[in-house]
Structure 1
Amino acid sequence: MASTASTTEAPAQPRRLSGRLGVGSIVFMVVAAAAPLTVVGGSVPLGITIGNGAGFPAMYAVGSVVLFFFAVGFVAMTRYVPNAGAFYTYIAAGLGRLHGLGGSFLALLTYQTIQAAVYGYLGAALGGVVSDDLGGPDLPWWVWTGLAIAVVGFLGYRHIDLSSKVLGVLLIAEIGIVLVVDAGVVLAGGGPEGFSTASLTPSGIAAGAPGIGLMFALAGFIGFECTAVFRDEARDPDRTIPRATYASLAVIGVFYTLSAWSVVSAWGDTGAVTEAAADPEGMVVQTASDFVGVAAGDVVQALLLTSLFACVLSFHNVVNRYVFSMANTGVLPRFWGRSHARHHSPHTASLLQTGASVALVVAFVAAGLDPVLQVYTWMSGIATLGFILLMLLTCIAVLVFFARTRVDARVWNTKVAPVIGVVGLLVAAYLTAANFGLLVGGWTVGAVFLVLIVASYLVGPLVGVLKPGADPLAVAAFEAQLDAAEPAVPHQVRSTPHTAPDSEDIA
């Protein structure tokens, strides 16, 4: 049935995405999703305040190391699981069809909630700038959020190259201004206490609540793994995706660690904690004004808005491709997996995603939720735990897949690094779950959200029982016809003979 549907729809309804994205373009998309300026301006002060104080910058380095071990196995899987579903296809390849289906719905929840979180923050921030700084009309936050949804929907409907160009410009600007501020702090020799050393000492790193600090740090990496989602639009997937994954992780990790350390150094170990608690929203803006100039502070304020916009645009593209991939493997309705005849974009998925974002905003407004204290905080909490659980499941799936298939003999890539990744992610998952009530504003709300996370995963096996043909690893018949590839076999991973690893595949 699935094969027939695919065959009859293929000529009239294209189901293929196209593009020639290189490493740089994909890195732009992924790093934009991580919203570097938003993290530095928002998460860093919070990590300092309720995390481990002046030692918080070290948590980004720790998070980078944990995710590096995850990335080694993740990248090793890309050549053997060529589907563009990323997390859930890898989980299915290692742990089986039903677990893969569970991962697909958990991934949708994770990316949808982080996108909703940023939409809330963007609406509130944009409204504040327009009314307070520019003297414009004081409109409800959801008006500005609705405008952002419309622009994101327009860009997401068109070819991916347009989004990548927009994200590239915005990303260069926000990273550039933060690096200018970092340079200003370094050239000035730091603040009144000189350069911070708290991140370099065990006592400084272990101060306060390092577990909560690690939780905030890992939240800043959400989206770095989305390189695989753009596989179908990459110039040379087998080379581009591994390079883009490592490059994204390196850029994000180094940038966050350096920038967080610069912020702490600007205020001093003691002063940073005091300032972060007193004015978390304006801490980085004030740092820019003090060390570079008032104009730099204004630029940071403006680029915080573009950073938020770049973040939601990037996650919009990611969710579109998850829906597109799930539809073309029978998990979701197949007509959701159509691509535009001219733009070669997942336009149906984009329209659905835009509609879902509008519906969520309407629900938030109807419930009277605060866009920052509740929408942003609560949705970010769900996304953070979902992200860690997805990586943990993927890391376990990598171990099982290579142990079962033995298609790759590299011990480091398929055994040692993934095992270390599992241990690190288990610790992160425990710390996040144990502190989940604090992250979402109390255990009453926290318990509801934990149930939601578990329920989203259980939807997968239910769909698997109701739709026996739904398979995260299925390859649509039209793809085999277009590529003259081997016929698709349900629940079978298309693999290629293992050859000597290229340089980009060696961690």
Structure 2
Amino acid sequence: MTTPSLVEVKPRLQGNLGTGAIVFMVIAAAAPLTVIGGNVPLAVGVGNGAGAPVGFALAAVILLVFSVGFVTMTPFVTEAGAFFSYVTAGLGSRAGLGAAFTALVAYTAIQVAVYGYVGWAADDLVTHFGGPALPWWLYSFATMAIVAVLGYRHIELSAKVLGVALALEILVVIVLDLVIFTTGGANGPALETFDPANVFTGSIGVAVLFALTGFIGFEATAVFRDEARNPEKTIPRATYLAVTIIGAFYAISCWALITGVGADSVVTVAQATLAGEGNMLLDVTEQYLGTIMRDVVQVLLITSLFACVLSFHNVIARYQFSLANKGVLPGRLGVIDKKHNSPSASSIVQTVTAAVVLGILAASGLDPLVGVFGSMAGVATVGMVILLLTTSIAVFVFFARRPSAISGRIWGSRVFPVLAIMGLCVALWLVLSNFTLVTGGSAFVSTILAIIPAVAFALGIVLGKRFRLDRHSADDVDEMDASS
């Protein structure tokens, strides 16, 4: 068999996305309102209580440290393959394909997870306003149909849709935060949040874990490279802005909810939410903003989830598009639609894949939150940490092999990648040691789910010998070394 050559000129997507548009795509994938309404009660009720905001801040710091090395290597990676392109340039084709397969598994899992969540949330919204109780999966597949139409078209249409939905959900949470802090909350600002006795009471690891789950989609800054305006400047700016905004938003909003409820009773309220005996976010919204705004937030939760699945759809479609143009996936997936300038064939396949996985889970009779969202989010979180860790190692190795490229980049090429590797190893341990809390399943089921991303990575390594992934970026640096 002839080894597929991946160095010939392939079709490239085009666009004019600026920093703001790409940041919107990344933050939309993070689904901030969904995290505030779902991950925060988990971090507080199961994790370290009033000290949970510190866990969110720590997760943001870990990703900012990672971002320094990621951004430093960006000028040397000129294709829109994101993490797997970085891993290929630093560690070779086999590891690169392993990262690509891991990413496909992780992003498909989180997308299916959110489809389960949006089905539950839509049914809850309809019944709240007196409508009939219908199977959750009807709403999930209806959402999928809309996402399929938007994902098929040009990326700038998706960016506009995401921008409107994202602006509304962020605005309402900011208003809630401001009202809570200006009115003093239940007992004044919850300064107990920063008391070491609270930060390290319970499990701060759980808070970090659910914060990391909220950052899934962070890779999108590089996925849209070909469609970005001046990517050498746009991608770094978008990366730092996205991580900083998401991290600050999570930490401050978590602190606001704790202040609104009161540090002394917040664990009880959060645990009641997890038991289905209330809703921490909606109840606090009603208390401080009134019933109408509670209803508005409940509607915006749907738009938040929709923006999330649309963003992941676009990311996965572009992953498949990039892999198809490397000969790894069928060439049809690498075709650009002439009318919409989008990876339309890849978009269709992505929709079918998500529909099949969701259909199997729905047919199994799983609960949309614990069974679908919990288990799939767990798979995605493990996959994300593996990707981040592998990419940090790739950055370090890439520059270690090319001394001339290090000039003026010592912090980004050596120091921060090492710090990121150390931090992500700790994060991976936290995720795995608390994995049953994410999946909601038994230790056996959780173990099976946890190894799925690792199996995908191993499969990529095994199949990688059949493909010679494009390493022109690395070759360019090698030529620079030879001429210096």
Alignment counterpart, residue 144 of structure 1, candidates 139, 153, 160? 139
Identity fraction in percent: 46
- After superposition, residues 112-127 of structure 1 pair within 5 angstroms as 112-127=108-123
Alignment counterpart, residue 303 of structure 1, candidates 294, 300, 305? 300
Matched, 1:231 2:228: no
Matched, 1:419 2:414: no
Matched, 1:100 2:99: no
Matched, 1:369 2:369: no
- After superposition, residues 204-215 of structure 1 pair within 5 angstroms as 204-215=198-209
Matched, 1:185 2:180: yes
Q: Which amino acid aligns with 2:246?
A: I
In 2, are the aligned partners of 1:116 and 1:379 still within 8 Å (CA)? yes
In 2, are the aligned partners of 1:79 and 1:496 still within 8 Å (CA)? no
Instruction: Report the secondary structure of 1:82's partner residue.
Output: coil
Q: C-alpha separation between the residues in 2 aligned to 1:24 and 1:143?
A: 34
Alignment counterpart, residue 240 of structure 1, candidates 222, 231, 234? 234
User: What are the ranges of 5 or more consecutive residues in structure 1 without an aligned counterpart?
Assistant: 475-488, 499-507
Q: Partner residue of 1:408?
A: 406
Instruction: Report the secondary structure of 1:350's partner residue.
Output: helix
Alignment counterpart, residue 328 of structure 2, candidates 320, 328, 331? 331
Q: Which amino acid aligns with 1:462?
A: V
In 2, are the aligned partners of 1:82 and 1:494 still within 8 Å (CA)? no
Per-residue displacement from partner, 1:71-98 (whole Å, max 9, x unpaired)?
A: 0000111100111111111111111111
Q: C-alpha separation between the residues in 2 aligned to 1:276 and 1:380?
A: 20
Superposition deviation, residue 295 in structure 1? 1.4
Q: Partner residue of 1:483?
A: none
Instruction: Report the secondary structure of 1:16's partner residue.
Output: coil
Q: Which amino acid aligns with 1:178?
A: V
Superposition deviation, residue 361 in structure 1? 1.5
In 2, are the aligned partners of 1:331 and 1:463 still within 8 Å (CA)? no
Per-residue displacement from partner, 1:350-402 (whole Å, max 9, x unpaired)?
A: 00010011101210122111111110000001111111111011011111101
User: What are the ranges of 5 or more consecutive residues in structure 2 without an aligned counterpart?
Assistant: none
Matched, 1:262 2:256: yes
Instruction: Report the secondary structure of 2:167's partner residue.
Output: helix
Per-residue displacement from partner, 1:149-181 (whole Å, max 9, x unpaired)?
A: 000000000000000000000000000000000
Alignment counterpart, residue 397 of structure 1, candidates 394, 398, 415? 394
Q: Which amino acid aligns with 1:419?
A: V
The two structures have a TM-score, normalised by structure 1, of 0.90
Q: C-alpha separation between the residues in 1 aligned to 2:14 and 2:44?
A: 43
Alignment counterpart, residue 322 of structure 1, candidates 319, 324, 333? 319
- After superposition, residues 19-30 of structure 1 pair within 5 angstroms as 19-30=15-26
In 1, are the aligned partners of 2:6 and 2:325 still within 8 Å (CA)? no
- After superposition, residues 389-468 of structure 1 pair within 5 angstroms as 389-406=386-403, 407-409=405-407, 410-440=409-439, 441-465=441-465, 467-468=466-467
Q: Which amino acid aligns with 1:183?
A: L
Q: Which amino acid aligns with 1:239?
A: K
After superposing the two structures, state which structure 1 stretch, 112-121 or 398-407, moved more.
398-407
Superposition deviation, residue 134 in structure 1? 2.6
- After superposition, residues 8-87 of structure 1 pair within 5 angstroms as 15-87=11-83
In 2, are the aligned partners of 1:159 and 1:345 still within 8 Å (CA)? yes
Q: Partner residue of 1:352?
A: 349
Q: C-alpha separation between the residues in 2 aligned to 1:262 and 1:416?
A: 35
In 2, are the aligned partners of 1:79 and 1:495 still within 8 Å (CA)? no
Q: Which amino acid aligns with 2:34?
A: T
Per-residue displacement from partner, 1:165-218 (whole Å, max 9, x unpaired)?
A: 000000000000000000110111121x22112331211110111111211111
Q: Which amino acid aligns with 1:423?
A: M
Instruction: Report the secondary structure of 2:216's partner residue.
Output: coil
Q: C-alpha separation between the residues in 1 aligned to 2:475 and 2:424?
A: 26
Superposition deviation, residue 314 in structure 1? 0.4
The two structures have a TM-score, normalised by structure 2, of 0.94
RMSD over aligned CA atoms reads 1.8
Instruction: Report the secondary structure of 1:62's partner residue.
Output: helix
Q: Which amino acid aligns with 1:93?
A: A
Alignment counterpart, residue 382 of structure 1, candidates 379, 383, 400? 379
Aligned residues: 472
In 1, are the aligned partners of 2:76 and 2:474 still within 8 Å (CA)? no
Instruction: Report the secondary structure of 2:76's partner residue.
Output: coil
Matched, 1:171 2:166: yes
Q: Partner residue of 2:245?
A: 251
Per-residue displacement from partner, 1:422-460 (whole Å, max 9, x unpaired)?
A: 111110001111222332222111121133222111111
Q: C-alpha separation between the residues in 2 aligned to 1:496 and 1:229?
A: 24
In 2, are the aligned partners of 1:121 and 1:371 still within 8 Å (CA)? yes
Q: C-alpha separation between the residues in 2 aligned to 1:75 and 1:263?
A: 34
